[in-house]
Amino acid sequence: MKILRVFPRLTSMTPLDGIIGLPDLWRPKADEVHISVAFTWDIEYAKHMKKNWEVYYPVVKIGGPAFGDPGGNFEAGKYLEKGCVITSRGCPNNCSFCLVPKREGKIRELPIVEGNIIQDNNLLACSKSHIDKVFQMLSKQRRVDFAGGFESARVTDQIVQQLRGLKLYQLWLAYDHPNAEKSLIRAVDKLRKYFSRDKIRCYVLIGYKDDTIEKAEHRLMRAWEIGTLPFAMLYRDEKNTEHSKKWKQFQRKWTRPAIIKSINKLLDKPKVKED
């Protein structure tokens, strides 16, 4: 069966042979059209897309993480770019700001397929045997990127040693709340012995209820002080999908490594003692 895969927007993870947006004059033959929606803020546009694609194709399905799809076994290259793989779904934690447990349930280990970008929600929550198999697969890959992120509290000395055996491009930790700082510090202290700041990235959640730009900037600068290269992520859920222009401008500034390094340059300079 020929499936046409369509996406609301182009991202770094969109398959190169996928189609973006509405149908145009070039409409390849297909039995079904699958509209894959990753973000909740694209849901309304995706519904509009569905109506337009239904004009030309008899079967148009819409789904994806934004619609609460729990996901089954991962099929490489179908809805994510080649090289990007998922070896587990779900998460055993119940963080108030995260939709993963509600959508995918507790941790589920999947058959491992080859790729260099790991998009698991919480790989380190898997069994040791599964983690070992993932690292074994990655030992044959180049430019390994743990884009899904590591839970800082689960970063052990053994995990660090396994990372040393890889051609690591970068790994991601998270600083979602001030309470996460202690575990972040412990994880970075283990990692920085072998990896530079550019390889230790950190998602910093901003813009949630009662957050301010001042508080968010403090967390981002703390993430830098701790030894990571921070990346601001605006909080969004089913009800909170829009932010002010000020928040969006602030986030853009804190997603560009060159600007981030410039902002934090003064933090790395030794302070001059006063006479």
Amino acid at 25: L
Asked whether 250 and 213 are in contact (CB, 8 A), the reply is: yes
Report the alpha-carbon angle 159-161-166, nearest 5. 95
Asked whether 144 and 166 are in contact (CB, 8 A), the reply is: yes
Res 156: pLDDT: 97
Asked whether 42 and 6 are in contact (CB, 8 A), the reply is: no
CA distances from 136 to 7, 131, 143, 162 (A): 32, 9, 15, 9
Asked whether 68 and 103 are in contact (CB, 8 A), the reply is: yes
Q: Whole-model pTM?
A: 0.87
Q: What is the pLDDT of residues 152-162, one digit of tens each?
A: 999 999 999 99
In what order do the strands lie in the sheet containing 117-118? 84-85, 117-118, 144-146, 168-175, 200-206, 229-234
Distance CA 172, CA 123 (A): 12
Domain range list for the chain: 1-69, 71-267
Token digits of residue 241: 């999908």
Res 241: pLDDT: 53
Of 143, 141, 95, 150, the closest CA to residue 121 belongs to 150
Helix (H, G, I), strand (E, B) or coil at 260: helix
Res 272: pLDDT: 44
Res 94: pLDDT: 81
Distance CA 29, CA 140 (A): 37
Res 240: pLDDT: 53
Res 160: pLDDT: 98
Residues of the chain where predicted confidence (pLDDT) is lower than 70: 237-243, 266-275
Distance CA 243, CA 67 (A): 21
Asked whether 204 and 235 are in contact (CB, 8 A), the reply is: no
- The class level of CATH for 71-267 reads alpha beta
Residues pairing with 36 in the sheet = 63
Tokens 């300079």 sit at which residue? 269
Res 275: pLDDT: 42
Distance CA 220, CA 232 (A): 7
Q: What is the pLDDT of residues 36-78, one digit of tens each?
A: 999 888 999 999 999 999 999 999 999 998 898 888 889 988 9
